[in-house]
Structures are given as structure tokens and as C-alpha cells.
Amino acid sequence: MLREFRLPDVGEGLTEAEIVKWHVAPGDSVKINQMIVEIETAKAVVELPCPYEGTVSALMVSEGQTVDVGAPIISVEDGEGGHGAGGDGADAGRKALADDMVPDVRNAAPAKEERQPVLVGYGVKTSATRRRPRKPAAPAPATSAPAAAPVVSAPPVAPVPPAPARGAAGPVQGNGSAAPVRARVLAKPPVRKLAKDLGVDLTTLTGTGPQGSITRADVEAALAAPAPVAAASRWEAGVREEHIPVRGVRKATAQAMVASAFSAPHVTEWLQIDVTETMEAVRRLRTLPEFAEVKVSPLLLVAKALITAVKRHPLANATWTGEEIVVKHYVNLGIAAATDRGLIVPNVKDADAMSLPELARALGELTERARAGKCQPAELSGGTITITNVGVFGVDAGTPILNPGEVAILAVGQIRDMPWVVDGQLAVRKVTTLALSFDHRVVDGELGSYVLRDVGAMLEDPLRMLAWS
């Protein structure tokens, strides 16, 4: 029997999602819980498991296409009798299984014993799953290439001609021919880590190692190559304009930034500081056994300084509701991250309760997931204060826009050698610029100055973090 898998709601309020990458092609055999597709919502990239076992009949949506929740995206032939005779009861059971197979990324609770193990998400409950009610869709005709059933507020979705997708090699076929396959980057973990640390995109390199794998020498050669040549290669000759659809993360970010910029009265204060002692502290931390397998960067001490500052000035870690000011006595520290899909701000939950090694590990794991586009919706909500590290782009500072629901955001500029007066003598020191934007409805100029001053004082002399923690 031919089964259709419809795009599920993987997050509260989800109305549509973009098909990022198919992991299967028509003719492939699939099993229950096998990851078959990656979708991009307004908050994150999520993998979906297959609720059926059988053979893929057709991929009904191309990579790069945006579809509404409830629209069919793949059809699977489960064979005669499916999982056994059972008539309408068996069909109802399989339909319930298809509903429950969607990973519930809204809950961060660990899997319980009554759930069936799956690769991602939280598994299948043995009891019924409560889901947001939807209007029923009309049944689709049972054909080899079925068209989509009508979905509320959306036209029928049928197998579509291929649309160029990000990195796709060809169209999605519904007649059993090969689906697009994306080349995988071959590189050993140490090489991947080196590329990440140096900011080199492995997908742009041609490997010279065994089987075309990328080596350390390839990464170092790419870093030494002139930047203008790489940039010029992205400007296609003869193309005067490019139209980029606004959707997914970029669309959600744009809406959030407009809402924040035109609702909260922003004030930005600046402070230039000598961080020579902080850089020395970072160097010494890297030699400690507690940080042996953890990336230690100046951002770690900036984060610790900001957490300490808001503990001293709790009103900077609050939310304005219009009726009241909600002061948070915990810190969910947001880290703004620029990704290929746009700006996202995942956050470290309860960062104030972490030791320095724990915070370093959490920051490293969070930024790695953000760059890979694997942050879960729970990691992208509930932040209380944010850091944006614009220094990685080689600029001194900026005027950051508040993350919606927060009243302060700290921008950190590049660290560079500058002349500085030390004990009455001119010296070359490590200097950076801090910029703190705050919501003037909650944080007045005095409080904002105190927060910025405290962060700067701790970065000039890291021992103050111990004294004030």
C-alpha cells in the first residue's frame, strides 16, 4: 500500500519549512525511524525520521522548496498488507505511528523508558501523543505519483519539476531515477578542527590527499591564498542582479530585528580597554589539564565577566512586558552566530551556574552546532542577555540590536596592538572596544554605565572576577 508522509509540526506555531536535503532517493528501502530528510524551520535545521517501512516511491518536494505543514513530502510503498492483516484497525495504528514519529524538539527532557529509542528526538511514546488539532485533509488518490491532498490555506502539492537547490547536483525525480547527491567533504577530525579554528570553509577546497581528502596543507594553502581571488570567483560574469528568497532563519531574524529596533528605545555606550592581562590569562588557561580538550578563547572570559556583571546589576538581565519588568535570577547566555542561513542567537542555559571549564565546553559545543545549523528550537529561545563577537570580522565594534525579550547586548570588537599609557609610560598593549546596547525603558544610563564599566574592569584585571563572583 502506498503511504504518504506529510510535513509535521516540529515546533509550536510552525506553518512551513524548507526542504534542505534528502537522505533517500526513489527506489531506496527505508525503515521506521530512519532519518530521511533535513528541513529548515524559522529557527533551526531538523532531521525527520520515516514513520513507515518499505520502498521510497517518490520524493514529492524538491530540495530548496518551501512547503506548508500538512503537505505530503514523500510516498513509501510498504508492500501488500503492510505490517500484517488488520484492516482499518491496522491502518489507524500505522497512522497514529506516523503522527508520533515526529521528534518533539520543543521538550528538552531526557528520554524515558516508555519511549522507543530513535536516532534523534525523543522517540515514540507507547501512549497517545497530544498534538495541536488540525483540520483534516481530503484523501489523496492512490497512484504511482500521487498528488497532494488539499491542505488548509495551501494549494495541493504535487511532484514538482526540479528547482536549483543549495549545492544540489540535479533534480529530484519521482520515476525511480537517481536523486541529487551532495558531495561529502573528506577530512580527518584534526584537519576539520584546524579549518574551523582558522575560519576556512572545507567545501570550497579541493583535496590533495588520498581519495581526494583534504589535508592540513590544503587548509594552510587556502588560508595563504589572496582573499580577493576567492571573493571574485563568486561574482558570476554576465549576471547583473541576483534575487535571494527571504525565508527560514533569515526571514525570522529580519522580523525580530525590525520588531526590536522599532519597539525598544536603544542606547549604546562604548568603552575601550586594555586586555593584555586577559590574553595572558587565556594563554595560561590553555595549559591547565581542566581545559585540555576544550577550546579556550577570549570570548570565554568575556562571557564570565558579563555573567558576573549582571549578577551585580540584575536589572540588566530582565524582560520588559509592558505591564511589568521581569528580572531573571538566572543567566541564559546568548551568543550571536553568523551562519550560511543567517544570524541566529542560541543560548547556554543557566550559564551562571557553570564552572569555567563547563562554560568553555558549553560555548564550544553551542557555536559548533550553530555553524553546522544543528541547533534545536529550545536552544534558540529563552535567552536573557547576549554577546555578539564582531571582532572575528576584523572590526572594532558596532551598535548591536537587542535580541527580542532582552534588555542588554554586549558587542566585542577585535583585539589588536595599540599604543597605551601604562604607569605613565607609553607601551604597546592588547586593546579592544566594548559596546553595550540596552533598553532605556529598563536600563537607564547610570545602570548601563555600571554594567559596562564592570565588564571592562574584569577584562583589564581578570582577578576581579574572583573577587566579584
| Residues noted as catalytic | 440
Contact 371, 402 (CB under 8 A): no
C-alpha closest to that of 316 among 162, 423, 438: 438
Contact 301, 460 (CB under 8 A): no
Contact 438, 256 (CB under 8 A): no
Residue 190 CA to residue 194 CA, distance in Å, equals 6
C-alpha closest to that of 248 among 42, 13, 16: 42
Residue 47 CA to residue 35 CA, distance in Å, equals 6
- E strand map for 208-332: 266-274, 318-320, 325-327
Question: What residues contact residue 125 under an 8 Å CB cut-off, 6+ apart?
Answer: 100, 114, 115
What type of residue sits at position 433?
Answer: T
Q: Which three cell numbers stand for residue 104?
A: 518533539
Residue 434 CA to residue 451 CA, distance in Å, equals 11
Q: How many residues does the chain have?
A: 469
Largest interatomic CA distance in the chain = 90
